[in-house]
Structure 1
Amino acid sequence: MTSDTAQRATWRAWLGLAILTLPLLMAATDMTVLFLALPSIAADLTPGSTQLLWILHAGEFLTVGFALTMGRVAQRIGPRRLLVIGGSAYGLASLAAAHSPTPEILIAMRGLLGVAAATLLPSVMALLRGMFPVARQFSVAVAVTMSSFSAGMALGPPLGGFLLENFWWGSVFLVNVPVAALLLAGAPLLPSPRGDGAGRVDITSVLLSLGAIISVIFGLQEIADKQTSATGEPLWPYLLAVVVGLGFLVAFVRRQLRLADPLLDLRTFAAPAFTISLLAMLLMLLGMGGTDMLLAQYLQTVIGLSPGRAGLLLLAPALASAVGGMLAPVLNRWTRPAFTMAGGLLTAAGGAAVMVLLEGRAGAVALVAVAAVIALALGPLFTLSTNLVVGTAPKHQAGSAAALGDVSGGFGNALSLAFLGSLSAVVYRSALEGSVPAEASESAAEAARESIGGATAVAGNLPGEAGAELLEAARSAFGLGLQSAYGFGAVLLTLVAVLVAWLLRHASIDTADGEESPTEAVPDETAREPV
C-alpha cells in the first residue's frame, strides 16, 4: 500500500467534491419546493387527488426503480459520463415540467426527472470512492455530499416561497436549469475513470424490478385512495396489482441468483452492516419522510402563513439536518455507529411525540423548532448508513452499492408520502364527516371532504357563520391528520432504534488513514452459472 502522502486527496479532488455537491443540492431543492407548490399546482391544473399524489411522488418511484440500473451503467460506461448524461436530462426535464399545461404532462415530466435523478447518487459515490482513497477523508466527503442534500432542502422552502409569491408555479422547476448548467461546466474538472465494459445491463431484470416497484406502490396507493374517498369502488383490481408486483419481485430475485452478471448482487446482503443500514434508512424515512409535506401544508392552510413565511420557517429543520450530517465523522471518533444512530432515532421519536402533543396548542415557531430537533437527530443516520453501505462493497461496485442506498431511501420516502398522505387523508375525512353545513351542495360537500383546500374553497362560498364553522372544522380535522402521521413516526422510530442498537452493535467504521474501506468488504467473487 502506498504512503498516506501518496494516497491523500489533492486540491483537485476537493474542488471536485464541491462540484459533486451540485446534483444532490439540485435534487433536494426540487423536492422541497414541490411541497410548497402543490396548492398552486392544484389551483391551476385542477388535478384529482390521485393525480396530485402522482405529481408528488412519481419521480421518487422511478428513481427507486432505475437506481440499480444506473449503478450498473456507471460501472459500464464510467461514472463521470453517466453524471453528465443525467445532469443534462434533469435540466431539460425541469424546463419542460415548468411549462406543463395539464396534470398528465406534469406527471410525465416528473417521471423523467425521476429517471434522471437515478443517475446522480451512484455516479457521485463512485467518483468519490476513487477521489478519496483514505477512509477518513472519504468519510468527510460522504458527510459533505449528504449534507449538501440537506442544504438543498434548506434552500428549497425560502426559494420556493419567494418564487411562488412573485412568479407562477412553474418557476420552482426552472431553478434546476442553471444548477444543471453549472454542473456540466464543472464536469471537466472531475476524474474520468473509464468504464470497464463489465456489468452488462440485463433488460429483463430492469423490467422485473420496475414492474415490482410500480405495481406494488400503485396498488397500495389506489387502495388507500379508494378507502379515503369511500366511493364503494371494488378494491380487488388494486389488490391484484400488489400480488402481481410481488410476483415480479420473486421472479427478479430468482433471476439475480441465476445470472452470472446480475443487476443486483444479492451476496452484498450477507454483510449485516450493509443490510441493517439499508433497512434502517428505509424504515426511518417511512416514518418521517411524509411529515415534511404535511407540516408545510399545515403551516399554510391551518395556521395561515404565506408560502414565503412558511418557507423561511422550514429553513430551520433543513439546516439542522445538514449540521447533523456533518457531525457524523466527529461522533464516529467517540462511539460506534450503532449507538450514534440509535440515539438519534430515539431523540427523533421523542420529538415526534412532542409534535403530537403541541398540535393545536402551539404556534408555528414552536412546531418548526421541534421539527428542527428531529432533523438534527436524524442527520447522522444518513451519513453513517451511506458510509456503511458503500464501504461494505468492493471498490468497483461503489456505484451499485450507492444505488442500493438510493433505492432504500427513495423507496422509504415514496412509501411514506403515499402512506402518511393517505393516513392523514383518512383521518381528515373521518373527522370532518358530519361537519359540512346543510347549505353546501352535495358536490361542494364532497369537495370539502376531499381535502382542506377544497374545504377552504367551499367555505368561501357559504353564507354567514356556516363558512367559518366549516373552515374551523376542516382545520381541526387536518390537525388530527398531522397528529396521526407524527404518532406513527414516533412508534416506528423507537422500534428502529432498538433494531439498530442490537443488530449493528459490532459494526464500526475504521477511519484510520490508509484504509480503503470503512467496513469489512463483501468478497468479490464472480462464480455464477451463466444463463
Structure 2
Amino acid sequence: MHTGSAKADRNLAGRREWIGVCVLSIACLIYSMDLSILFLAIPAIVADLDPSASELLWINDIYGFMVAGFLVTMGTLGDRIGRRRVLLIGAAAFGVASALAAFSTTAQQLIVSRAFLGIAGATIAPSTLSLIVNLFTNEAERNRAIGIWGTAFALGGLIGPLLGGFLLQYFHWGAVFLINIPVMFILLIAAPILLPEYKSEDGARLDLLSVLLSLATVLPIIYGFKHVAADGFDIRHLLPIGGGLVVGWLFLRRQKTLPDPLIDLKLFALPAFTASLLVNLAGMFFVFGVFLYQNLFLQFVLGLTPLEAALWSVPSSIVFTVMSLQAYRFTNHFGPVRTVLLGLVINSAGMLLMSVAAYCESLFGVLGATMVIAVGFVPVVLTTTGLIVGSAPPENSGSASAISETSAEFGGALGIALLGSLGTLIYRMLMAGVNVAGLDAAERAAVKTTIGGAVETARALQDSAVPAWLEAARQSFSIGFASCCLLATVTLLVLAVMARKIYARENIDEQTVASAH
C-alpha cells in the first residue's frame, strides 16, 4: 500500500500537466456558463424569434436535459475509445452547435441547436475529470487539480450572467453562444499537445440498447422533477418519474447480464465509491434546494430587485470560488475522510444558521450563513469527487466521473423539486386560515398558493399600505424556508455519522486511494 503511495510521490507533475489542467478548466468554465448565460438573453430571444410558451421552456431546459442524459454514455465511451478523443470530438461539436445556436432564425432551430450543444457538453465534464486523474498520479497534486477544475464550474456560474449581460448590452443575443467557439478552438489545438490519451485495454463496444435505456431513465426523471419545481406537485409529473424508474430497473438488470456493461455495477460494491457518491448527491440536494429559497427570499420577502439580489450574492459567490481553489489544502492537511466529515459538520452548522436567519428575516444572516455553507460544502463535494474517481479502477475513471456528474445533476434537480414542494406545502398550510377579505377568488387563490402570487397580487393593488396578508405570506414563506434548512441540518449530521462508520470500517484513507493508482 505505502509502496504505491511513495511511487506516486516521485511522479510529480510538471509545467505541461498544470497547463493541461488549466486548458481543461477553461473548457469546464464554458460548459458551466452555458447552463446560466441564456437566462438574461431570453427577452431578446422572445422579441426576435417569438417562441410559444412551450418552445420557450424547451429553449431553457433542453441543454441541461441532454447533458444529464448523455453523461454516463460519454463517460463510458471515453473509457472505450479514448478520453482525449471523446473530448476533442465533443469540443468540435460544441463549437459547431454554438454557431448553429447563435444564428438560429426560428425557435425550433434554437431548440435543436441547444440539444446538440447539450450532447456535446456531456463529453466535457467526465472527460476532463478522468483526464485529470491520468495527468496527476500524486494524491496531493490531484486534489489541487480537482480544486482548479471545480473552481472553473463555480466561476462559470458567476461569470455567465455578468458576461451575458455585457454582451447583450452591445451585441445580438447570438453573441452569448459565439464566445464558446474560440475557447473550443484553443482546446482542439492544445489538447493533443498537452493531454495524454487513455482508454481501457479491452476496448469493448458500447451496448446501444443500454445507451437508449440510460437516456430513457435519466431524461424523464429530470424532466418530471424540473416540472415539480416549476409548477408545484401534480400527479401528472409523477408519470415521467415513475416511467423513468421502471426503465432504470430494466437498465440495471441488463447491466448485470452484459460482459461489458455501460455502467460497471461492481463500482457500487466499493465502500469509498458508494459512500462518497451518497455524500456528493446529498450535498447537491440541499445546496441547490436552499439556494433556490435564498433567491426567492431576497426578492419576495426582503423586496430586493433581481439586480440587487444578484449583487448581494456576489460576496458568497466569491467565497465559493476561493474555497474551490483552496479546498485541496484541507484535503491534503486533514486527509479526504476527515475533510468530508468536518465539511459535513460545517455545512450542517451553516444550514442551522440559515434556518435562524430565514426565520428572523435577516439579510446579513442569510448571506453570512451562505458563506459558512460554502466553507463546508466545497471541500466536501470536491473531495468526494476525488474519492469517487480515485477509488474506481483506472480503466473505469471515465465511467466513474460520469456517474459523479450525473449524481450531481440528480441531486440538484431533486433538491429544487422536493425541498421546493415541502416549502410550498408548509406555506399553504400556514396561509390556509389567513384573512384575505376584499380579494376576488382568483386573487385569494394566488395569495394562498405561492409567495410569488402574494407579492404580485399586492403589487397589482397599488396600495401604499402593506396588506396584513402579505406580511403573513412573507412570514409563512420564511417558516417554510427555515424548516427546509432544519431538515438539511439534521440530515447532514446523520450522513456524517453514516459516512464515518463506512470509511472507518473499510479503513479508507489517503494511502488507500493513492495506491489504487
The normalised TM-score by structure 1 is: 0.81
Instruction: Give deviations 1:194-230, integer Å, cap 9, x for gaps.
Output: 756813121111111222223344455666777647x
Deviations 1:375-433 (A, max 9, x none): 11111112211221111222232211111111221211121122223333344444455
- Equivalence for 2:331: 332
Matches within 5 A, 1:185-334: 186-191=190-195, 193=197, 198-219=203-224, 228=233, 235=235, 238-334=237-333
After TM superposition, give the deviation of residue 372 of structure 1 in Å: 1.1
Please point out which of 116, 141, 147 is paired with 1:143: 147
Q: Residue 198 of structure 1 aligns to which amino acid in structure 2? A: G
What is the Cα deviation at residue 371 of structure 1?
A: 0.2
Q: Deviations over 1:155-180 (max 9, x none)?
A: 34655666788889887666655544
| In structure 1, distance between residues paired with 2:80 and 2:59 | 32
Q: Partners of 1:310 and 1:182 in 2: how far apart?
A: 35
Deviates most, 24-33 or 265-274: 24-33
Using the aligned pairs only, state the percent identity: 35
Decide whether aligned partners of structure 1 residues 469 and 34 sit closer, same or farther in structure 2, where only a CA change above 3 A counts: farther
CA–CA distance in 1 between the matches of 2:106 and 2:432? 31
Counterpart of 2:12 in structure 1 is: 8
Answer whether contact 1:388 1:509 (CA < 8 A) is retained: no
Partners of 2:174 and 2:301 lie apart in 1 by: 25
Count of residues paired in the alignment: 509
Matches within 5 A, 1:404-423: 404-423=403-422
Once the two structures are superposed, the pairs formed by residues 30-429 of structure 1 within 5 Å of their partners are 30-31=34-35, 59-91=63-95, 93=97, 111-156=115-160, 158-159=162-163, 176=180, 179-184=183-188, 186-191=190-195, 193=197, 198-219=203-224, 228=233, 235=235, 238-359=237-358, 361=360, 363-429=362-428
Change in CA separation of 1:89 and 1:228 when aligned onto 2, cut-off 3 Å? same
Contact 1:158 1:311 in 2 (8 A): no
Measure the CA separation in 1 of the matches of 2:476 and 2:179: 35
**Contact 2:225–2:414 under 8 Å retained in 1:** no
Bigger Cα displacement from structure 2, 160-169 vs 121-130: 160-169
Comparing 412-421 with 149-158, which one deviates more in the overlay? 149-158
Determine the C-alpha separation between the residues in 2 that align with 1:96 and 1:435: 52
- 1:518 correspondence with 2:517: no
In the superposition, relative to structure 1, how do residues 274 and 352 fare at CA in structure 2: closer, same or farther (>3 Å)?
same
Q: Give the match's secondary structure for 2:263.
A: coil
Q: How far 1:13 sits from its partner (Å)?
A: 1.6
Comparing 18-27 and 144-153, the one that deviates more: 144-153
Q: Which segment drifts farther, 211-220 or 170-179?
A: 170-179
**Higher share of residues assigned helix:** 2
Which whole-Å CA distance do the structure 1 matches of 2:173 and 2:449 have between them? 22
Q: 1:500 maps to which residue? A: 499
CA RMSD of aligned residues (A): 4.0
CA distance in 1 between counterparts of 2:383 and 2:362 reads: 34
CA contact (8 A) 2:94 2:184 kept: yes
Shift of 1:494: 1.8
User: How far 1:277 moved relative to its partner?
Assistant: 0.6
Cα distance change of structure 1 residues 35 and 7 upon mapping to structure 2, 3 Å threshold: same
Deviates more, 1:379-388 or 1:148-157: 148-157
Structure 1 residues 263 and 436: alpha-carbon distance in aligned structure 2, compared to 1, 3 A threshold: farther
TM-score (norm 2): 0.82
| Cα distance, 1:148 vs structure 2 | 2.4
1:483 and 2:482 matched? yes
Which whole-Å CA distance do the structure 2 matches of 1:420 and 1:39 have between them? 29
Q: Is the 8 A contact 1:224 1:422 kept in 2?
A: yes
Contact 1:35 1:293 (C-alpha < 8 Å) held by counterparts: no
Gaps of 5+ in 1: 230-234, 512-516, 522-531
SS across alignment from 1:518: helix
